[in-house]
Structure 1
Amino acid sequence: MARWQIGDITVHRVDELTLPAGTGPWLLPGATPDVVAGSSWLAPSFAGPDHVINLAVHSFAVEVGGLRVLVDTGVGNGKTRANPAWNQLDTPFLARLAAVGFTPDTVDRVILTHLHADHVGWNTSATPDGSWRPTFPRARHLTARAEDEYWASADIEPARRQMLDDSVEPIRAHGLLDLVDVLPGGTEILPGVTLVPAPGHTPGQIAVVLSSRGRRAVITGDCVHHPVQLARPDLCSCVDIDPAAAVRTRTRLLDELAGTDTILLGSHFPEPTGGLVRRDGDAFRLVALD
């Protein structure tokens, strides 16, 4: 598992699963083989020889100021999901988390970039009686108030309701969910950890900015699903709620990071996952970091 040092902040990538090859064409239908082939820098890490993009699910375990902070919690084990790639998983995610020093009872904060099934699943674990208990019982779970309010009022399908019922509502019921008013310029929740608005994929999605000793990194959430969207910021996910807003968010972020030493950490980027944004004609490219 990869690790990055951002000044005094340590970031570990904790892997859950590699997504099947069919995920890319479904999730980003505009990322056709011809489009992918037009950016040769995507191979071999971010796209295969058939010019189909690679995607993964992982969390970021962040050591900051003596606290253990987990950004997003993946799909989770034993969850009934409509997506076959996520249904009834049995992965060693918790063992991988423990291997970097994050046993469940030592996690202090969980940041949820947005409330989708592949970002909230390990919030809870099954009990012998079939109910769901918090996986990280000491942790405050943070998400944007705007995100929570959207899903509370939206007319949502049964599969999404089930996800909220098994992975979000138990956290609320245990008094562990904190809703954050994320300001347009960002809201610092801990020294060196700032939540910034990243709407479009969902209305209240946030990205996470890490800053220490003059170094910075940005964890994307799903405002950038894959590096091909640097070459083509106009490419949208099939599940973006507001595609136009998603393009604006993505373009603004990439424009801000281009030419800087801020590390972009993609929430679904396959290995090597992190890189620097550089301008490439009228668009951008990712210079991957080991």
Structure 2
Amino acid sequence: MQDSTTHRVGDATITKIFEIGLDAVEGEFLFPSIDPASIARERGRFGPGSVDPRTGALRLSIHSWLVQTPERVVLIDTATGNDKERPGAAVLHRLNEPFLDRLRAAGVAPDDVDLVLMTHLHADHVGWNTSLAGDRWVPVFPNALHVFSGRELAYLAALSAGDGSDAAIRDAARLGPMLHPPLPGVYEDSVRPVVQAGLARQVVVDGSEVADGFRFLPSPGHSIDHACISFTSRGERALFWGDVMHHPLQVARPDWNSVYCEFPQAALTSRRWAMEHAAETGALVFTTHFAESSAGRISRDGDRFAWQFV
């Protein structure tokens, strides 16, 4: 169940650009360390937009957020992309989706985008940075500055080089034990081409403003330098969560890491921080993998949090 409603935050309009829906994700797969009875109990709190009432499977989404201000046309993350070789993740492998047609239907051509902000450099967040032209990967948004963490870039480059230098980057990050590395191939086909084209800007994720109203807020754990991206306009706030969580049942259970979290200890800390920040600021939260409208608000009652789709 998908909803492409456009939201307003200050002077900006924010629209979900849908890529693919994942409507049959088993809870035991997404949360492999959690016992099935606990998963069944928690998923019973949700309606058919987030949980299949017949099978109990979880519903997820992969999409981008289009932010249009009077001055800018911005994409937050760029989903998976077509034709990418992802044999380690079958649902992302060699896609053929009309993502750019959906972007055009929202009134934006690729040439119109002048800023691409990435919460992190995983396969389903950077894929439409590039498309295949013959045997080459070329930038999809040739007029856009692509902004992302310098540490994320260095880590992917080190893993690609295979020279062992990734260990020093992990040590410097001080995130605790690593559960697994990111999918291979992403640096080569979706990140390096925009760097080589001179379209990339590396930033330190420290809360500093990276563009008018946009800030990268530290929330590492899912990836080595994951950022939530905040946006403020006329005193109203939006918070793009990236992958601090994948399904709304984690709002009630922030102690549950997904199978995709690379640094589990840090991911737990960042997840709780992201909810506290959203509750304290009253931000409208834009998620990357919740289904339904994918946007909502967080409320807090003592140590517990609740999610409400908008």
Q: What TM-score comes out, normalization by structure 2 length?
A: 0.86
Provide the rounded CA distance (Å) in 2 between the counterparts of 1:114 and 1:3: 24
1:172 maps to 195
After the TM superposition, list the runs of 4 or more consecutive aligned residues in structure 1 that deviate by more than 4 angstroms. Answer: 155-159
Mapped pair 1:223 → 2:244: yes
Moved more, 53-62 or 280-289: 280-289
Structural mapping, 1:6-85, within 5 Å: 6-22=9-25, 24-29=27-32, 30=34, 32=36, 34-38=38-42, 40-49=44-53, 50-82=55-87, 83-85=89-91
Equivalent in the alignment of 2:290? 269
**Structure 2 residues not aligned, in runs of 5+:** 167-179
Whether 1:279 aligns to 2:285 is no
Q: Which residue of 105, 111, 123 corresponds with 2:111? A: 105
- Is the 1:57–1:268 Cα contact (8 Å) retained in structure 2? yes
Moved more, 25-34 or 13-22: 25-34
CA distance in 1, matches of 2:152, 2:194: 15
> Structure 1 residues 25 and 97, CA, compared in 2 at 3 Å: closer, same or farther?
farther
SS in 2 for 1:70: strand
**Residues 26 and 57 in structure 2, CA contact (< 8 A), matched pair in contact too:** no
CA–CA distance in 1 between the matches of 2:26 and 2:65?
21
Aligned residue number for residue 170 of structure 2: none
- Residue pairs, 1:114-129, within 5 angstroms: 114-127=120-133, 129=134
| Alpha-carbon distance change, 143 to 213 in structure 1, aligned in 2, over 3 angstroms | same
CA distance in 1, matches of 2:20, 2:35: 21
Please tell me the residue identity of whatever aligns with 1:5: R
Distance 2:20 2:181 in 1: 25
Structure 1 distance, partners of 2:201, 2:210, is 11
CA-CA distance at 1:52 after TM superposition? 2.6
Distance 1:158 1:281, change over 3 A: closer
Q: Does the Cα contact within 8 Å between 2:19 and 2:62 map onto a contact in 1? A: yes
Aligned length: 286
Against the structure 1 CA distance between its residues 40 and 239, is the aligned structure 2 distance closer, same or farther, given a 3 Å change threshold? closer
Distance, in Å, in 2 between the alignment partners of 1:25 and 1:5 is 36
CA positional deviation for 1:151: 2.0
Whether 1:150 and 2:155 are equivalent positions in the alignment is yes
Aligned counterpart, 2:140: 135
Structure 1 length as normaliser, TM-score? Answer: 0.92
How far off its partner does 1:3 sit? 1.3
* Residue type at the aligned position of 2:258: S
- Identity percentage over the alignment? 37
SS of the residue aligned with 2:91? Answer: coil
Note the aligned Cα RMSD (angstroms): 2.1
Partners of 2:221 and 2:307 in 1: how far apart?
A: 22
- 1:19 alignment partner, SS class: strand
Contact kept? 1:36, 1:42, Cα under 8 Å: no
Cα gap change, 1:159 to 1:191, in 2 (>3 Å): closer
Q: Distance in 2 between matches of 1:28 and 1:232?
A: 11
Q: Which amino acid aligns with 1:96?
A: R
Alignment of 1:206-217 (within 5 A): 206-217=227-238
The match for 2:217 is 196
2: distance between equivalents of 1:52 and 1:34? 14
Name the SS for the 1:42 alignment partner: coil
Give the 3-state SS of the residue equivalent to 2:58 in structure 1: coil
C-alpha distance after superposition, 1:91-110 (max 9, x if no partner):
11000001112211110011
Cα drift, residue 32 of structure 1: 3.8
1:288 aligns with 2:309: yes
Paired with 1:65 and 1:208, the residues of 2 have a C-alpha distance of 19
Q: Give the CA deviation at 1:233.
A: 0.2
CA distance in 1, matches of 2:236, 2:285: 12
Q: SS of the residue aligned with 1:38?
A: helix
Shift of residue 158, structure 1, vs aligned partner: 11
The 1:281–1:252 alpha-carbon spacing in structure 2 relative to 1, beyond 3 Å, is same
Cα distance, 1:87 vs structure 2: 1.2
